[in-house]
Amino acid sequence: MLAVTEDAVCSLHLDYSFSSCFLRWHREDAPGALPSQTPPASKILKGEEESKAQATPAPTARQRETGGGAEIGRQQERTELAKVSDHLRDVSGGCPESDKEQQLRQEEAEFTSLKASWEKAKFRLRLLEGHNDIVTCVVAVDNLVVSGSRDTTVKVWHVPTATEHKNLGGHTGGVTCLSAPPPEYCKRLAWSLSLSDKERFILSGSADCYVKIWALSIGQCVKSIYTFNAVTALCFVPEEDGYIVTGSDGGKVQAWSWHTFEHCQSINAHQEAVTSIQSQGPLVFSGSAEGGVSVWENQCSDRDPLRLLHHWSGQVTGCRGGPGGRLTLSPRGDRVFLAYGQAWLKILHWRTGTTSRLTNHSSITGVTDCVHQTGGLLIGSCYDLANGASTLNLFSLPQCRYLASLTWPDAPRILCFAAWTTGSGDHRWVSGGRDLIVWEQLPSSGKQRGDVTVKRDSQLDSCFLESEEDTEDDEETDGTHTHTHTHTHTAISQFFRSSFTDSCLMTNRGIADYTIVLILDDAC
Protein backbone atom coordinates (compact mmCIF):
# COMPACT_ATOMS: atom_id res chain seq x y z
CA MET A 1 0.00 0.00 0.00
CA LEU A 2 1.37 3.42 -0.95
CA ALA A 3 1.58 6.07 1.75
CA VAL A 4 -0.23 9.37 1.11
CA THR A 5 0.24 12.57 3.11
CA GLU A 6 -1.25 16.06 2.85
CA ASP A 7 1.89 17.47 1.23
CA ALA A 8 3.02 14.76 -1.09
CA VAL A 9 2.25 11.41 -2.60
CA CYS A 10 4.74 8.60 -2.99
CA SER A 11 4.59 7.05 -6.44
CA LEU A 12 6.33 3.95 -7.67
CA HIS A 13 8.89 4.08 -10.48
CA LEU A 14 10.61 1.10 -12.01
CA ASP A 15 14.11 1.17 -13.52
CA TYR A 16 14.95 -1.83 -15.63
CA SER A 17 18.24 -3.48 -16.53
CA PHE A 18 19.06 -6.82 -18.04
CA SER A 19 20.18 -8.28 -14.72
CA SER A 20 18.10 -6.63 -12.00
CA CYS A 21 14.95 -4.75 -11.13
CA PHE A 22 14.63 -2.33 -8.27
CA LEU A 23 12.08 0.06 -6.80
CA ARG A 24 12.72 3.74 -6.30
CA TRP A 25 10.51 6.06 -4.26
CA HIS A 26 9.98 9.47 -5.79
CA ARG A 27 8.47 12.51 -4.12
CA GLU A 28 6.01 14.58 -6.11
CA ASP A 29 3.58 17.35 -5.34
CA ALA A 30 0.29 15.95 -4.11
CA PRO A 31 -2.57 16.17 -6.63
CA GLY A 32 -5.67 18.13 -5.75
CA ALA A 33 -7.81 15.01 -5.44
CA LEU A 34 -6.64 11.49 -4.66
CA PRO A 35 -8.48 8.23 -5.37
CA SER A 36 -10.27 6.81 -2.35
CA GLN A 37 -8.16 3.68 -2.50
CA THR A 38 -4.67 3.11 -3.90
CA PRO A 39 -4.58 0.22 -6.40
CA PRO A 40 -2.68 -2.93 -5.41
CA ALA A 41 1.03 -3.09 -6.15
CA SER A 42 0.50 -5.86 -8.73
CA LYS A 43 -1.72 -3.55 -10.81
CA ILE A 44 0.84 -0.73 -10.57
CA LEU A 45 3.60 -3.03 -11.78
CA LYS A 46 1.41 -4.28 -14.58
CA GLY A 47 0.51 -0.75 -15.63
CA GLU A 48 4.16 0.35 -15.65
CA GLU A 49 5.09 -2.66 -17.74
CA GLU A 50 2.33 -1.95 -20.26
CA SER A 51 3.29 1.73 -20.52
CA LYS A 52 6.91 0.83 -21.21
CA ALA A 53 5.78 -1.65 -23.85
CA GLN A 54 3.70 1.03 -25.57
CA ALA A 55 6.57 3.56 -25.43
CA THR A 56 9.13 1.14 -26.93
CA PRO A 57 9.41 1.38 -30.77
CA ALA A 58 9.11 -1.76 -32.91
CA PRO A 59 12.47 -3.56 -33.37
CA THR A 60 14.30 -3.42 -36.71
CA ALA A 61 15.19 -6.53 -38.71
CA ARG A 62 18.79 -6.29 -37.49
CA GLN A 63 17.58 -6.13 -33.90
CA ARG A 64 15.36 -9.17 -34.46
CA GLU A 65 18.28 -11.12 -35.85
CA THR A 66 20.47 -10.38 -32.82
CA GLY A 67 17.69 -10.30 -30.23
CA GLY A 68 18.43 -13.61 -28.50
CA GLY A 69 20.29 -11.96 -25.61
CA ALA A 70 17.66 -9.24 -25.31
CA GLU A 71 14.90 -11.84 -25.03
CA ILE A 72 16.77 -13.52 -22.19
CA GLY A 73 17.09 -10.13 -20.50
CA ARG A 74 13.35 -9.49 -20.82
CA GLN A 75 12.60 -12.88 -19.29
CA GLN A 76 14.86 -11.95 -16.37
CA GLU A 77 13.00 -8.65 -16.02
CA ARG A 78 9.64 -10.42 -15.90
CA THR A 79 11.00 -12.87 -13.32
CA GLU A 80 12.28 -10.04 -11.10
CA LEU A 81 8.96 -8.22 -11.40
CA ALA A 82 7.09 -11.34 -10.35
CA LYS A 83 9.40 -11.71 -7.33
CA VAL A 84 8.75 -8.13 -6.26
CA SER A 85 5.00 -8.60 -6.61
CA ASP A 86 5.12 -11.85 -4.60
CA HIS A 87 7.19 -10.14 -1.89
CA LEU A 88 4.69 -7.31 -1.56
CA ARG A 89 1.86 -9.81 -1.31
CA ASP A 90 3.73 -11.78 1.39
CA VAL A 91 4.35 -8.62 3.42
CA SER A 92 0.64 -7.85 3.40
CA GLY A 93 -0.11 -11.20 5.03
CA GLY A 94 -1.23 -13.08 1.94
CA CYS A 95 -4.58 -11.30 1.64
CA PRO A 96 -5.57 -8.14 -0.20
CA GLU A 97 -4.81 -5.02 1.77
CA SER A 98 -8.17 -3.61 0.76
CA ASP A 99 -9.98 -6.36 2.69
CA LYS A 100 -8.10 -5.48 5.88
CA GLU A 101 -8.82 -1.81 5.43
CA GLN A 102 -12.46 -2.53 4.77
CA GLN A 103 -12.72 -4.58 7.96
CA LEU A 104 -11.02 -1.85 10.01
CA ARG A 105 -13.27 0.81 8.52
CA GLN A 106 -16.33 -1.29 9.31
CA GLU A 107 -15.24 -1.84 12.93
CA GLU A 108 -14.49 1.85 13.35
CA ALA A 109 -17.86 2.79 11.86
CA GLU A 110 -19.66 0.41 14.24
CA PHE A 111 -17.80 1.83 17.23
CA THR A 112 -18.51 5.41 16.14
CA SER A 113 -22.20 4.60 15.80
CA LEU A 114 -22.28 2.90 19.21
CA LYS A 115 -20.48 5.81 20.84
CA ALA A 116 -22.88 8.30 19.25
CA SER A 117 -25.90 6.33 20.48
CA TRP A 118 -24.60 6.33 24.07
CA GLU A 119 -23.87 10.05 23.91
CA LYS A 120 -27.61 10.52 23.28
CA ALA A 121 -28.73 7.93 25.87
CA LYS A 122 -31.41 8.89 28.39
CA PHE A 123 -32.36 7.06 31.57
CA ARG A 124 -35.15 7.48 34.06
CA LEU A 125 -34.16 6.72 37.65
CA ARG A 126 -36.49 5.33 40.30
CA LEU A 127 -35.64 4.88 43.95
CA LEU A 128 -36.69 1.62 45.62
CA GLU A 129 -37.24 2.40 49.28
CA GLY A 130 -37.52 -0.19 52.03
CA HIS A 131 -34.09 -1.29 53.24
CA ASN A 132 -32.80 0.13 56.50
CA ASP A 133 -29.10 -0.33 55.78
CA ILE A 134 -26.53 -0.68 53.00
CA VAL A 135 -27.62 -2.78 49.99
CA THR A 136 -24.80 -5.28 49.45
CA CYS A 137 -26.07 -7.38 46.51
CA VAL A 138 -28.68 -7.31 43.73
CA VAL A 139 -29.91 -9.70 41.04
CA ALA A 140 -32.59 -9.45 38.33
CA VAL A 141 -35.21 -12.14 37.60
CA ASP A 142 -37.72 -11.41 34.82
CA ASN A 143 -39.54 -8.20 35.84
CA LEU A 144 -38.35 -8.56 39.42
CA VAL A 145 -35.33 -7.18 41.23
CA VAL A 146 -34.06 -9.00 44.31
CA SER A 147 -31.84 -7.16 46.79
CA GLY A 148 -29.95 -8.20 49.89
CA SER A 149 -28.95 -5.84 52.67
CA ARG A 150 -26.92 -5.57 55.81
CA ASP A 151 -30.30 -5.18 57.58
CA THR A 152 -30.59 -9.05 57.25
CA THR A 153 -33.50 -8.97 54.77
CA VAL A 154 -33.97 -10.06 51.17
CA LYS A 155 -36.52 -7.96 49.30
CA VAL A 156 -38.28 -8.61 46.00
CA TRP A 157 -39.29 -5.59 43.90
CA HIS A 158 -41.72 -5.25 41.00
CA VAL A 159 -39.81 -3.14 38.47
CA PRO A 160 -42.68 -1.73 36.33
CA THR A 161 -44.34 -0.21 39.40
CA ALA A 162 -41.17 0.28 41.50
CA THR A 163 -42.91 -1.26 44.51
CA GLU A 164 -41.90 -3.85 47.09
CA HIS A 165 -43.33 -7.23 46.15
CA LYS A 166 -42.06 -9.49 48.95
CA ASN A 167 -40.03 -9.11 52.12
CA LEU A 168 -38.06 -12.29 52.81
CA GLY A 169 -36.97 -12.38 56.43
CA GLY A 170 -35.12 -15.25 58.05
CA HIS A 171 -31.42 -14.46 58.14
CA THR A 172 -29.97 -13.34 61.46
CA GLY A 173 -26.89 -11.73 59.92
CA GLY A 174 -26.29 -9.31 57.09
CA VAL A 175 -27.05 -10.67 53.60
CA THR A 176 -23.83 -10.65 51.58
CA CYS A 177 -24.61 -12.38 48.26
CA LEU A 178 -27.40 -13.54 45.92
CA SER A 179 -27.68 -15.86 42.92
CA ALA A 180 -30.52 -16.85 40.57
CA PRO A 181 -30.61 -20.41 39.12
CA PRO A 182 -31.73 -20.71 35.45
CA PRO A 183 -35.43 -21.56 34.82
CA GLU A 184 -34.75 -25.19 33.85
CA TYR A 185 -33.12 -25.88 37.23
CA CYS A 186 -35.95 -24.07 39.00
CA LYS A 187 -38.44 -26.43 37.33
CA ARG A 188 -36.71 -29.49 38.76
CA LEU A 189 -36.77 -28.11 42.29
CA ALA A 190 -40.36 -26.87 41.91
CA TRP A 191 -41.49 -30.33 40.80
CA SER A 192 -39.82 -31.96 43.84
CA LEU A 193 -41.58 -29.45 46.12
CA SER A 194 -44.97 -29.77 44.37
CA LEU A 195 -44.85 -26.13 43.29
CA SER A 196 -45.73 -24.55 39.95
CA ASP A 197 -43.26 -25.29 37.17
CA LYS A 198 -43.07 -21.52 36.63
CA GLU A 199 -41.73 -20.95 40.13
CA ARG A 200 -38.45 -19.04 40.37
CA PHE A 201 -35.94 -19.45 43.18
CA ILE A 202 -33.26 -17.22 44.66
CA LEU A 203 -30.21 -18.21 46.71
CA SER A 204 -29.01 -15.91 49.50
CA GLY A 205 -25.84 -16.11 51.60
CA SER A 206 -25.34 -14.42 54.94
CA ALA A 207 -22.89 -13.71 57.72
CA ASP A 208 -25.05 -16.06 59.85
CA CYS A 209 -23.37 -19.03 58.03
CA TYR A 210 -26.57 -20.00 56.16
CA VAL A 211 -27.46 -20.31 52.50
CA LYS A 212 -31.21 -20.01 52.04
CA ILE A 213 -33.29 -20.95 48.99
CA TRP A 214 -36.40 -18.81 48.48
CA ALA A 215 -39.50 -19.40 46.34
CA LEU A 216 -40.32 -15.95 44.99
CA SER A 217 -44.04 -16.35 44.25
CA ILE A 218 -44.91 -17.57 47.74
CA GLY A 219 -42.18 -15.61 49.52
CA GLN A 220 -40.99 -18.51 51.64
CA CYS A 221 -37.70 -20.22 52.39
CA VAL A 222 -37.88 -23.79 51.08
CA LYS A 223 -34.40 -24.93 52.12
CA SER A 224 -31.58 -23.82 54.44
CA ILE A 225 -27.97 -25.02 54.25
CA TYR A 226 -25.64 -24.47 57.21
CA THR A 227 -22.04 -23.93 56.04
CA PHE A 228 -20.21 -23.54 59.42
CA ASN A 229 -18.64 -20.27 58.19
CA ALA A 230 -19.90 -16.81 57.33
CA VAL A 231 -20.90 -16.87 53.65
CA THR A 232 -19.29 -14.00 51.73
CA ALA A 233 -19.90 -15.12 48.11
CA LEU A 234 -21.94 -17.70 46.23
CA CYS A 235 -22.83 -18.75 42.70
CA PHE A 236 -25.12 -21.30 41.06
CA VAL A 237 -23.29 -23.45 38.48
CA PRO A 238 -25.67 -24.76 35.75
CA GLU A 239 -23.72 -27.91 34.84
CA GLU A 240 -25.09 -31.48 34.91
CA ASP A 241 -27.54 -31.63 37.85
CA GLY A 242 -26.35 -28.22 39.02
CA TYR A 243 -24.56 -27.26 42.20
CA ILE A 244 -24.02 -24.30 44.50
CA VAL A 245 -20.53 -22.93 45.14
CA THR A 246 -20.01 -20.82 48.26
CA GLY A 247 -17.08 -18.82 49.61
CA SER A 248 -16.41 -18.09 53.27
CA ASP A 249 -14.80 -15.34 55.31
CA GLY A 250 -11.87 -17.70 55.98
CA GLY A 251 -11.04 -18.31 52.31
CA LYS A 252 -12.82 -21.66 51.99
CA VAL A 253 -14.61 -22.67 48.75
CA GLN A 254 -17.37 -25.28 49.11
CA ALA A 255 -19.67 -27.10 46.69
CA TRP A 256 -23.23 -28.28 47.38
CA SER A 257 -25.49 -30.52 45.28
CA TRP A 258 -28.59 -28.81 43.83
CA HIS A 259 -30.31 -32.20 43.66
CA THR A 260 -29.76 -33.34 47.26
CA PHE A 261 -28.39 -30.14 48.91
CA GLU A 262 -25.64 -32.28 50.42
CA HIS A 263 -22.08 -31.10 50.88
CA CYS A 264 -19.84 -32.26 48.01
CA GLN A 265 -16.47 -30.60 48.50
CA SER A 266 -14.53 -28.22 50.72
CA ILE A 267 -11.25 -26.54 49.70
CA ASN A 268 -9.04 -24.07 51.54
CA ALA A 269 -8.59 -22.03 48.38
CA HIS A 270 -7.64 -18.53 49.54
CA GLN A 271 -5.80 -16.88 52.41
CA GLU A 272 -8.48 -14.27 53.09
CA ALA A 273 -12.25 -13.94 52.61
CA VAL A 274 -13.71 -15.04 49.27
CA THR A 275 -15.39 -11.90 47.94
CA SER A 276 -16.61 -12.94 44.48
CA ILE A 277 -17.59 -16.17 42.69
CA GLN A 278 -18.76 -16.33 39.05
CA SER A 279 -19.32 -19.17 36.58
CA GLN A 280 -18.69 -19.34 32.85
CA GLY A 281 -19.83 -22.60 31.27
CA PRO A 282 -17.96 -25.44 33.00
CA LEU A 283 -15.55 -22.99 34.68
CA VAL A 284 -15.85 -21.32 38.08
CA PHE A 285 -13.83 -18.24 39.08
CA SER A 286 -13.25 -17.18 42.68
CA GLY A 287 -11.61 -13.99 43.92
CA SER A 288 -10.49 -13.09 47.42
CA ALA A 289 -9.66 -10.16 49.68
CA GLU A 290 -5.90 -10.62 49.27
CA GLY A 291 -6.31 -10.20 45.49
CA GLY A 292 -5.90 -13.84 44.46
CA VAL A 293 -7.94 -15.42 41.66
CA SER A 294 -8.58 -19.16 41.24
CA VAL A 295 -10.00 -20.90 38.16
CA TRP A 296 -11.85 -24.18 38.68
CA GLU A 297 -13.14 -26.78 36.24
CA ASN A 298 -16.32 -28.79 36.74
CA GLN A 299 -15.51 -32.51 36.66
CA CYS A 300 -19.18 -33.57 36.44
CA SER A 301 -18.81 -35.66 39.59
CA ASP A 302 -21.07 -36.00 42.62
CA ARG A 303 -17.99 -35.92 44.85
CA ASP A 304 -15.29 -33.28 44.52
CA PRO A 305 -16.78 -31.63 41.42
CA LEU A 306 -14.22 -28.80 41.33
CA ARG A 307 -10.68 -29.24 40.03
CA LEU A 308 -8.22 -26.37 40.29
CA LEU A 309 -6.87 -25.27 36.90
CA HIS A 310 -4.99 -22.10 37.84
CA HIS A 311 -4.37 -19.93 40.86
CA TRP A 312 -2.93 -16.46 40.50
CA SER A 313 -1.86 -14.62 43.65
CA GLY A 314 -2.45 -10.95 44.37
CA GLN A 315 1.15 -10.29 43.39
CA VAL A 316 0.37 -11.56 39.88
CA THR A 317 -3.05 -9.92 39.49
CA GLY A 318 -1.81 -6.61 40.88
CA CYS A 319 -4.71 -6.52 43.36
CA ARG A 320 -2.49 -6.77 46.40
CA GLY A 321 -3.83 -5.86 49.80
CA GLY A 322 -4.46 -7.10 53.29
CA PRO A 323 -7.52 -8.21 55.24
CA GLY A 324 -10.62 -6.21 54.40
CA GLY A 325 -9.99 -5.94 50.65
CA ARG A 326 -12.92 -6.44 48.32
CA LEU A 327 -12.28 -7.89 44.87
CA THR A 328 -15.13 -8.36 42.38
CA LEU A 329 -14.64 -10.21 39.11
CA SER A 330 -16.41 -10.78 35.80
CA PRO A 331 -15.07 -13.44 33.38
CA ARG A 332 -15.21 -13.26 29.59
CA GLY A 333 -13.48 -15.97 27.56
CA ASP A 334 -9.79 -16.05 28.43
CA ARG A 335 -10.01 -12.76 30.33
CA VAL A 336 -11.24 -11.89 33.81
CA PHE A 337 -12.09 -8.28 34.61
CA LEU A 338 -11.16 -7.36 38.19
CA ALA A 339 -12.25 -4.42 40.37
CA TYR A 340 -10.32 -3.84 43.58
CA GLY A 341 -10.81 -0.32 44.89
CA GLN A 342 -8.34 1.30 42.49
CA ALA A 343 -8.64 3.90 39.74
CA TRP A 344 -8.46 1.23 37.05
CA LEU A 345 -9.83 -2.17 36.13
CA LYS A 346 -7.39 -5.06 35.99
CA ILE A 347 -7.66 -7.61 33.17
CA LEU A 348 -6.23 -11.04 33.98
CA HIS A 349 -5.53 -13.40 31.09
CA TRP A 350 -6.15 -16.42 33.25
CA ARG A 351 -4.50 -19.05 31.04
CA THR A 352 -1.12 -17.29 31.00
CA GLY A 353 -1.21 -15.11 34.11
CA THR A 354 -0.46 -11.93 32.17
CA THR A 355 -2.32 -8.78 33.17
CA SER A 356 -3.39 -5.48 31.64
CA ARG A 357 -5.11 -2.50 33.14
CA LEU A 358 -7.89 -0.27 31.85
CA THR A 359 -8.17 3.22 33.33
CA ASN A 360 -11.56 3.74 34.95
CA HIS A 361 -10.91 7.13 36.57
CA SER A 362 -8.69 10.02 35.55
CA SER A 363 -7.74 10.89 39.15
CA ILE A 364 -5.68 9.01 41.73
CA THR A 365 -8.53 9.56 44.19
CA GLY A 366 -10.91 7.38 42.17
CA VAL A 367 -11.82 3.86 43.29
CA THR A 368 -13.59 1.12 41.34
CA ASP A 369 -16.11 -0.79 43.44
CA CYS A 370 -17.69 -3.24 40.99
CA VAL A 371 -17.53 -4.44 37.38
CA HIS A 372 -20.31 -5.96 35.28
CA GLN A 373 -20.93 -7.15 31.71
CA THR A 374 -24.17 -6.95 29.76
CA GLY A 375 -24.33 -7.70 26.05
CA GLY A 376 -21.46 -5.87 24.38
CA LEU A 377 -20.88 -3.53 27.32
CA LEU A 378 -18.35 -3.53 30.13
CA ILE A 379 -19.58 -1.35 33.01
CA GLY A 380 -17.35 -0.18 35.82
CA SER A 381 -18.59 1.85 38.78
CA CYS A 382 -16.29 4.57 40.03
CA TYR A 383 -16.29 6.83 43.07
CA ASP A 384 -14.08 9.85 43.68
CA LEU A 385 -12.95 9.94 47.30
CA ALA A 386 -11.98 13.61 47.01
CA ASN A 387 -15.25 15.14 45.80
CA GLY A 388 -17.80 12.34 46.31
CA ALA A 389 -18.72 12.09 42.61
CA SER A 390 -20.10 8.71 41.51
CA THR A 391 -20.18 7.53 37.88
CA LEU A 392 -20.74 4.49 35.71
CA ASN A 393 -18.18 4.16 32.92
CA LEU A 394 -19.12 2.24 29.76
CA PHE A 395 -16.65 0.39 27.51
CA SER A 396 -17.32 -1.56 24.32
CA LEU A 397 -16.52 -5.26 24.19
CA PRO A 398 -14.38 -7.03 23.20
CA GLN A 399 -12.11 -4.06 22.37
CA CYS A 400 -12.55 -2.33 25.78
CA ARG A 401 -12.85 1.10 24.15
CA TYR A 402 -14.33 3.91 26.20
CA LEU A 403 -17.87 4.97 25.24
CA ALA A 404 -19.32 7.33 27.85
CA SER A 405 -19.82 8.07 31.55
CA LEU A 406 -23.19 8.33 33.29
CA THR A 407 -23.84 10.33 36.44
CA TRP A 408 -26.33 12.66 38.12
CA PRO A 409 -26.22 15.20 40.96
CA ASP A 410 -25.75 13.64 44.41
CA ALA A 411 -25.31 10.17 42.89
CA PRO A 412 -24.55 7.68 45.70
CA ARG A 413 -21.63 5.30 45.73
CA ILE A 414 -22.47 2.15 43.72
CA LEU A 415 -21.33 -1.05 45.47
CA CYS A 416 -23.30 -3.65 43.49
CA PHE A 417 -24.90 -3.78 40.07
CA ALA A 418 -27.13 -5.95 37.86
CA ALA A 419 -28.34 -5.46 34.28
CA TRP A 420 -30.72 -6.92 31.72
CA THR A 421 -32.44 -5.90 28.48
CA THR A 422 -36.15 -5.66 27.71
CA GLY A 423 -37.89 -7.34 24.79
CA SER A 424 -37.41 -4.17 22.75
CA GLY A 425 -33.66 -4.18 23.42
CA ASP A 426 -33.64 -1.29 25.89
CA HIS A 427 -31.39 -1.45 28.93
CA ARG A 428 -32.60 -1.79 32.49
CA TRP A 429 -30.16 -1.72 35.34
CA VAL A 430 -30.28 -1.76 39.12
CA SER A 431 -27.55 -0.39 41.37
CA GLY A 432 -27.16 -0.76 45.10
CA GLY A 433 -25.25 0.85 47.93
CA ARG A 434 -26.62 3.53 50.18
CA ASP A 435 -29.64 3.65 47.81
CA LEU A 436 -31.30 1.03 45.62
CA ILE A 437 -32.00 2.54 42.19
CA VAL A 438 -33.57 1.19 38.99
CA TRP A 439 -32.29 2.61 35.68
CA GLU A 440 -34.80 2.53 32.82
CA GLN A 441 -33.56 3.51 29.35
CA LEU A 442 -35.79 5.96 27.48
CA PRO A 443 -36.07 6.41 23.69
CA SER A 444 -33.36 8.84 22.64
CA SER A 445 -35.72 10.47 20.13
CA GLY A 446 -38.47 11.05 22.70
CA LYS A 447 -39.28 14.39 24.29
CA GLN A 448 -39.04 13.10 27.85
CA ARG A 449 -35.93 14.30 29.63
CA GLY A 450 -33.67 11.82 31.34
CA ASP A 451 -32.41 11.95 34.91
CA VAL A 452 -28.85 10.98 33.99
CA THR A 453 -26.11 13.18 32.57
CA VAL A 454 -24.02 11.62 29.81
CA LYS A 455 -20.49 13.00 29.70
CA ARG A 456 -17.13 12.10 28.26
CA ASP A 457 -13.79 12.10 30.05
CA SER A 458 -11.14 12.97 27.48
CA GLN A 459 -8.48 11.20 29.53
CA LEU A 460 -10.44 7.96 29.39
CA ASP A 461 -11.21 8.54 25.71
CA SER A 462 -7.51 8.58 24.87
CA CYS A 463 -6.66 5.69 27.19
CA PHE A 464 -5.37 2.41 25.80
CA LEU A 465 -5.00 -0.97 27.39
CA GLU A 466 -1.60 -1.18 29.06
CA SER A 467 0.28 -4.34 29.89
CA GLU A 468 1.25 -4.44 33.55
CA GLU A 469 4.92 -4.89 32.66
CA ASP A 470 4.92 -1.72 30.53
CA THR A 471 3.14 0.20 33.27
CA GLU A 472 5.65 -0.83 35.91
CA ASP A 473 8.56 0.10 33.65
CA ASP A 474 7.01 3.51 33.00
CA GLU A 475 6.57 4.13 36.71
CA GLU A 476 10.20 3.28 37.37
CA THR A 477 11.43 5.78 34.76
CA ASP A 478 8.96 8.59 35.38
CA GLY A 479 10.69 9.80 38.54
CA THR A 480 9.44 11.13 41.84
CA HIS A 481 6.22 12.56 40.39
CA THR A 482 4.84 9.14 39.48
CA HIS A 483 5.99 7.55 42.72
CA THR A 484 4.25 10.28 44.73
CA HIS A 485 0.98 9.58 42.94
CA THR A 486 1.42 5.84 43.36
CA HIS A 487 2.10 6.08 47.09
CA THR A 488 -0.80 8.49 47.60
CA HIS A 489 -3.19 6.20 45.79
CA THR A 490 -1.94 3.19 47.74
CA ALA A 491 -2.66 4.96 51.03
CA ILE A 492 -6.12 5.97 49.84
CA SER A 493 -6.88 2.44 48.64
CA GLN A 494 -5.78 0.92 51.95
CA PHE A 495 -8.00 3.37 53.85
CA PHE A 496 -10.91 2.56 51.55
CA ARG A 497 -10.53 -1.19 51.96
CA SER A 498 -10.44 -1.03 55.74
CA SER A 499 -13.31 1.49 55.80
CA PHE A 500 -15.43 -0.69 53.55
CA THR A 501 -15.01 -3.71 55.80
CA ASP A 502 -15.76 -1.72 58.93
CA SER A 503 -18.77 0.07 57.50
CA CYS A 504 -20.38 -2.60 55.34
CA LEU A 505 -19.75 -5.88 57.08
CA MET A 506 -18.84 -5.45 60.73
CA THR A 507 -20.46 -2.38 62.27
CA ASN A 508 -23.63 -0.35 62.08
CA ARG A 509 -21.91 2.60 60.44
CA GLY A 510 -22.46 3.36 56.76
CA ILE A 511 -19.93 4.39 54.17
CA ALA A 512 -21.53 7.84 54.10
CA ASP A 513 -20.41 8.32 57.73
CA TYR A 514 -16.78 8.58 56.62
CA THR A 515 -15.25 11.81 55.40
CA ILE A 516 -11.88 11.73 53.67
CA VAL A 517 -9.85 14.93 53.37
CA LEU A 518 -6.90 14.84 50.99
CA ILE A 519 -4.12 17.41 51.26
CA LEU A 520 -1.81 17.15 48.27
CA ASP A 521 1.32 19.28 48.03
CA ASP A 522 2.62 20.86 44.84
CA ALA A 523 4.62 17.75 44.00
CA CYS A 524 1.37 15.87 43.41
CA 64 – CA 450 distance, rounded (Å): 85
DSSP states along 439-476: EEEE-TTSSSPPSSEEE--HHHHT---EEHHHHHHHHH
Question: What are the residues facing 17 on neighbouring strands?
Answer: none
Residue 490 resides in a domain:
no
Reported for 30-39, long-range contacts at CB under 8 A and 24+ positions apart, including other chains, are 30/4, 30/5, 30/6, 34/4, 34/9, 37/98, 37/101, 38/1, 38/2, 38/4
Q: Is the pLDDT of residue 428 over 80?
A: yes
What is the reported pLDDT for 446? 78
Radius of gyration (Cα) for the chain, nearest Å?
31
Residue 329 pLDDT > 90: yes
Q: What is the pLDDT of residues 468-503, one digit of tens each?
A: 554 444 333 333 333 334 444 444 444 444 444 444
Contact 407, 392 (CB under 8 A): yes
Residue 212 contacts residue 152 (beta carbons within 8 Å): no
| Residue 16 sits in the same domain as residue 148 | no
The predicted structure's pLDDT at residue 76: 54
Residue 345 has what pLDDT?
A: 94
Distances (CA, A) of 89 to 40, 98, 229, 259, 286: 9, 12, 64, 60, 47
77 and 216 assigned to the same domain: no
* Domain boundary, last residue among 456, 476, 496: 476
pLDDT for the residue numbered 521: 33
Residues 27-47 pLDDT 10s: 333 334 433 444 444 444 444
Cβ contact 244:222 at 8 Å: no
Give burial (CB, 10 Å; 0-12/13-18/19+) of 380: buried
Supply the pLDDT for residue 424: 83
Residue-level pLDDT at 79: 55
Asked whether residue 359 is domain-assigned, the answer is yes
Q: Is position 240 within any domain? A: yes
Confidence of residue 444 (pLDDT cuts 50, 70, 90): confident
- Residue 14 pLDDT exceeds 60: no
Q: What is the pLDDT of residues 57-69, one digit of tens each?
A: 555 544 444 444 4
155 shares its domain with 292? yes
Report yes or no: 234 and 243 within 8 Å, Cβ to Cβ. no
Q: Does residue 311 contact residue 292 with C-beta atoms inside 8 Å?
A: yes
Amino acid at site 369: D
Give the rounded distance of the alpha carbon of 64 from its chain centre. 72
pLDDT at 519: 30
Considering the domain architecture, whether residues 86 and 125 belong to the same structural domain is answered as: no
For range 244-262, the mean pLDDT: 96
Residues 6+ apart with CB under 8 A from 125: 408, 437, 438, 439, 440, 451, 452
Domain identity same for 125 and 72:
no
| Same structural domain, 204 and 80 | no
Instruction: Please tell me whether residues 354 and 466 are part of one structural domain.
Output: yes
327-331, 339-343, 365-369, 445-449: segment of lowest average pLDDT: 445-449
pLDDT tens figures, 364-395: 899 999 999 998 999 999 999 999 999 999 99
If you average pLDDT over residues 68-78, what whole number do you get? 51
Residue 301's pLDDT is what?
79
Residue 503 lies in a domain: no
Distance CA 30, CA 506 (A): 71
In the predicted structure, residue 259 carries a pLDDT above the cut 50: yes
106, with CB counted inside 10 A (0-12, 13-18, 19+), is: exposed
Q: Is residue 115 part of a domain?
A: no
Contact 145, 128 (CB under 8 A): yes
Mean pLDDT of the chain: 78
Parent domain of 343? 121-476
84 and 131 together in one domain: no
Residue 420 predicted with pLDDT over 70: yes
In this structure, is residue 523 part of a structural domain?
Answer: no
Contact 202, 141 (CB under 8 A): yes
pLDDT for 475 equals: 38
Give the list of residues 6+ apart from residue 468 with CB closer than 8 angstroms, or none: 318, 354, 355, 356, 357
With H, G, I as helix, E, B as strand and everything else as coil, classify residue 45. Answer: helix
Are 228 and 364 in a shared domain?
yes
Same domain, 168 and 45: no
Give the Cβ contact number of residue 8 at 10 Å.
13
The answer to whether residue 483 sits within a structural domain is no
pLDDT band, very low/low/confident/very high, at 99 (cuts 50, 70, 90) = confident
Q: Are residues 214 and 75 in the same domain?
A: no
Helix, strand, coil percent values for the chain (each to nearest 5) = 25, 40, 35
Q: How many domains does the chain have?
A: 2
Q: What is the pLDDT of residues 140-199, one digit of tens each?
A: 998 899 999 999 999 999 998 999 999 999 999 999 999 999 999 999 999 999 999 999
Q: Which residue has the higher pLDDT, 335 or 504?
A: 335
94 — pLDDT class (breaks 50, 70, 90): low
Rounded to an integer, what distance in angstroms lies between the CA atom of residue 246 and that of residue 279? 12
What's residue 80's pLDDT? 54
Answer whether residue 100 is part of any domain: no
The yes-or-no verdict on residue 106 having pLDDT over 50 is yes
Q: What CATH number is associated with residue 133?
A: 2.130.10.10
Q: Is the peptide bond before 398 cis (omega within 30 degrees of 0)?
A: yes
- Give the count of beta carbons closer than 10 Å to the beta carbon of residue 365: 20
327 and 278 in a common domain: yes
Distance (Å, whole) CA 413 – CA 382:
8
Q: Tell which residue, 195, 227, 232, has the closest CA to residue 214.
A: 195
